[in-house]
Amino acid sequence: MEQNTLTRLLLLLILPAILSTTSQSSLLDDLSREPPPGFNQTIARDCENDPTTRYCNASDTKLVAIYQSKVTARYLCNASMNENCDFAFTKISLQGSPNETRLFLSLFSFWKYCRLSIRLITLSNNGLRGSFPIEILQCTQIESLDLSYNDLVGYLPLDNLSALTNLTHIDLSYNHFSGQIPGFLRRFNSSGFTFSGLTEVSPADRPVPVLSVITLLTLLAILVSSVGCLWWICPRQPDFPPTALQARVQYMFTPGMLKAATNNFSETNSVGNVGRYEVYKGMLKDGREVAVEVCRETVTSEARRAFVHECRILVQVRHRNLVQVVGWCDRKGVRAVVKAWVGNVTMEKWLSQRSHDGAPSWHQRLKVAVGVANAMGYIEEEWPRVAYDLRSSSLIVGPHREPFIFKLGVGEHISASKKVYKYGALVLELITNKRAREGFGRGEAEFVEWVRMHYPSQVRKVMDEGIKKTGTTCEQVGQVVGIALMCTDPSPDRRPGLAQMVGMITGIYESPPPVWAQHNPSSTNHGRASKGVSMQ
Ligand SMILES: *[C@@H]1O[C@H](CO)[C@@H](O)[C@H](O)[C@H]1NC(C)=O
Ligand SMILES: *[C@@H]1O[C@H](CO)[C@@H](O)[C@H](O)[C@H]1NC(C)=O
Ligand SMILES: *[C@@H]1O[C@H](CO)[C@@H](O)[C@H](O)[C@H]1NC(C)=O
Ligand SMILES: *[C@@H]1O[C@H](CO)[C@@H](O)[C@H](O)[C@H]1NC(C)=O
Ligand SMILES: *[C@@H]1O[C@H](CO)[C@@H](O)[C@H](O)[C@H]1NC(C)=O
Ligand SMILES: *[C@@H]1O[C@H](CO)[C@@H](O)[C@H](O)[C@H]1NC(C)=O
Ligand SMILES: *[C@@H]1O[C@H](CO)[C@@H](O)[C@H](O)[C@H]1NC(C)=O
Ligand SMILES: *[C@@H]1O[C@H](CO)[C@@H](O)[C@H](O)[C@H]1NC(C)=O
Ligand SMILES: *[C@@H]1O[C@H](CO)[C@@H](O)[C@H](O)[C@H]1NC(C)=O
């Protein structure tokens, strides 16, 4: 019985890897074939059974396209793990399989004749680039759409999205879209827009002209009184200029200051792009090294206000494992966030490094895991509205191998159990150096299952080759894998709380090594940390 389950699990894991290329090529073969003789009759029968089928009104000249859409549907149904692919299927679910997803997205005839039975589309975690994959919106009947964790840019196709009248769930989080959350999508759960690049305020909230006049008058009154204050009253006050004003000035940068810091935004200072932002390395007048993220798109004044509001909060967030937001610039044409420079080595890159001193050691990895956990605990306690991105491609490992959560935002609260899950998956990535979106058909969930299968007896098999496998190390890795698997339990109720999770991981980092290991000379250099080792 158990053997059977194991074999099935093994097949589940190995087959997609082998098939990913073969099934793609056999799909392409099938697509290049002519429709079989009598195919027009097949269609006629289909349409008799169900006249609402999208291709029923197409003329004979589209026969090839209809044939291709049916072939594609067969493969896509299988790839999406539907129960019954002979008849109608309900979901398109492709996660963490970028190549397959891109192939299916390119098969236009399928989307054109999108089956009415399809209710759910999930294309998350596929590294999709470019603009919104508009072809999928021809499935106007869908109820759920998930495009989270991709690298999509640009504006949302509003006309086409608003045609999805049956939509009840949408998730665009962790992308780089531009513009604001359109009014008709604001009824949805706001966690679907976290780090989507979309801003919260919409032009609909713009004050009406009457209000503008009042605002203007109020402003004038404030101006007059503050001028009066400046000339007459305030200089006599001990607190001048007011601390609030001092604080704001301290964080505000002008385009001139940024130019001076980045050699006039020179090519040599450029270190790439993050979504809509160009990133420059620079040096402030006081010698601090900074990363300047510049966005030159013009946006509405509401979006600018939201941006400043966010920056004002982020400059107050301070933790040694969170990148320090030093200030911002908000001028027409140039909006920028200035952050402390912590290097540009992402955790993803760091894990793949094989420099002169080899891959990152277990101790270094554990230190990174603990640093991230501490930062999460801090945010949970002090800044519950601050959201962050835990993808290994967004985390930075600094010059002293200290982790930094780099992408911060102010958004809606994401449930703690979801954060705990993301953290667990991240820790497993630290140990295995495998990316959930590469080589695992169902993405993160399958990646986690793969590790779970090897736990606890075969943990060595999932460990990154770069980790030296001494006794103490393996024991500690086993403990940490155990915690990470708890955090990634499929059932949110069984995951530990965030504070508990932080406690467990720091507990391992700080616990003294087992007694026997102290007498084992081969293991003293790696994989352990006593209470005396500082995290600074
Ligand atoms: C199918 O096509 C054949 C010729 O290609 C034609 O003779 C036949 O009438 C068509 N049948 C239908 C149901 O359209
Ligand atoms: C096909 O055309 C008929 C009339 O021309 C129309 O009633 C029907 O709704 C159309 N079906 C589809 C799926 O568009
Ligand atoms: C779909 O999967 C079933 C078994 O899982 C297999 O027999 C069938 O050939 C697959 N179909 C396609 C088109 O890949
Ligand atoms: C995906 O495609 C890229 C090139 O387009 C290739 O290098 C990579 O091996 C492919 N991955 C899989 C799992 O087929
Ligand atoms: C929404 O669902 C209803 C009932 O299932 C259906 O009649 C309607 O056509 C759907 N709307 C769209 C845009 O497909
Ligand atoms: C998107 O909307 C535009 C304008 O309404 C329309 O012309 C176009 O066909 C739509 N595209 C899709 C894929 O539905
Ligand atoms: C929004 O989604 C989060 C997580 O997916 C969930 O915990 C929360 O209950 C949802 N809120 C509403 C109003 O549906
Ligand atoms: C800075 O760059 C802009 C255009 O990129 C150029 O017009 C300007 O002259 C430059 N200023 C200096 C001081 O180099
Ligand atoms: C990282 O920053 C250094 C400068 O500190 C730069 O030389 C290098 O090109 C940057 N790497 C990337 C990928 O941007």
Instruction: Identify the pLDDT of residue 345.
Output: 92
CA triple 254-255-261, angle to 5 deg: 95
Nearest ligand (C-alpha, residue 36):
1
**Beta-carbon-side half-sphere exposure of residue 372 (alpha carbons within 13 Å):** 30
> What is the reported pTM?
0.59
Count each helix (H run) and each strand (E run) in the chain, helices first: 18, 16
Residue 397's SS3 state is strand
pLDDT (tens digit, 9 = 90+) per residue, 182-236? 888 888 888 899 888 888 764 444 444 455 555 666 666 666 565 555 555 444 4
502, with CB counted inside 10 A (0-12, 13-18, 19+), is: buried
Cα torsion for 165, 127, 383, 204, to the nearest 10°? -30
Which residue has the least CA distance to atom 7 on ligand 3? 78
Nearest to 287 by CA among 344, 341, 343: 341
Task: Check if 74 has its Cβ closer than 6 Å to any atom of ligand 3.
Answer: yes
Nearest ligand (C-alpha, residue 60):
1
Helix 2-32 vs helix 63-79: angle between axes, to the nearest 10 degrees?
160
Question: Distance between CA 375 and CA 131 in Å, rounded?
Answer: 33
Instruction: Identify the pLDDT of residue 516.
Output: 42
Instruction: Identify the pLDDT of residue 457.
Output: 87
β-pairing verdict for 277-283 and 270-274: antiparallel
- Residues 60-69 as b or e (16 or more Cβ within 10 Å = b): eebbebbbbb
Which residues have CB under 8 Å from 422's CB, separation 6+? 390
Beta bridge partners of 290: 282, 340
456, with CB counted inside 10 A (0-12, 13-18, 19+), is: exposed
What percent of the chain is helix, strand and coil (3-state, nearest 5)? 50, 15, 40
Nearest ligand (C-alpha, residue 17):
4
Which residue has the least CA distance to atom 2 on ligand 4? 99
Question: Distance between CA 185 and CA 168 in Å, rounded?
Answer: 10
How far apart, in Å, are the Cα atoms of 105 and each of 30, 121, 127?
17, 12, 13
Task: Check if 20 has its Cβ closer than 6 Å to any atom of ligand 4.
Answer: yes
Nearest ligand (C-alpha, residue 98):
4
Fill in the DSSP letter of residue 231. Answer: I
Task: Show the ligand 5 pocket: residues with CB < 6 angstroms.
Answer: 140-141, 165-166
Nearest to 464 by CA among 476, 453, 477: 477
CB atoms within 10 A of CB 165: 8
Which residue has the least CA distance to atom 12 on ligand 3? 75
Instruction: Identify the pLDDT of residue 7.
Output: 39
Residue from 28, 67, 78, 89 whose mutation best tests the ligand 3 pocket (most atoms within 8 A of CB):
78
Phi/psi region, residue 498 (left: phi>0; alpha: psi -120 to 50; beta: rest), is alpha
Task: Check if 28 has its Cβ closer than 6 Å to any atom of ligand 6.
Answer: no
The answer to whether residues 323 and 289 touch, using CB atoms and an 8 Å cutoff, is no
Which residue has the least CA distance to atom 10 on ligand 6? 160
Q: What are phi and psi of 203, to 5 degrees?
A: -60, -20
Q: What is the 3-state secondary structure (H, E, C) of 278-295?
A: EEEEEECCCCCEEEEEEE
β-pairing verdict for 120-122 and 144-146: parallel
Spacing, Cα 333 to ligand 8 middle (Å): 15
Which residues have CB under 8 Å from 136's CB, separation 6+? 92, 105, 111, 114, 121, 123, 145
Which residues have CB under 8 Å from 524's CB, separation 6+? 517, 518
Task: Check if 23 has its Cβ closer than 6 Å to any atom of ligand 4.
Answer: no
The answer to whether residues 374 and 321 touch, using CB atoms and an 8 Å cutoff, is yes
Using the structure block, give the residue that is written with the tokens 């949805």.
188
- What are the residue ranges in the chain where pLDDT is below 70? 1-22, 58-61, 201-249, 356, 412, 437, 439, 441-442, 512-536
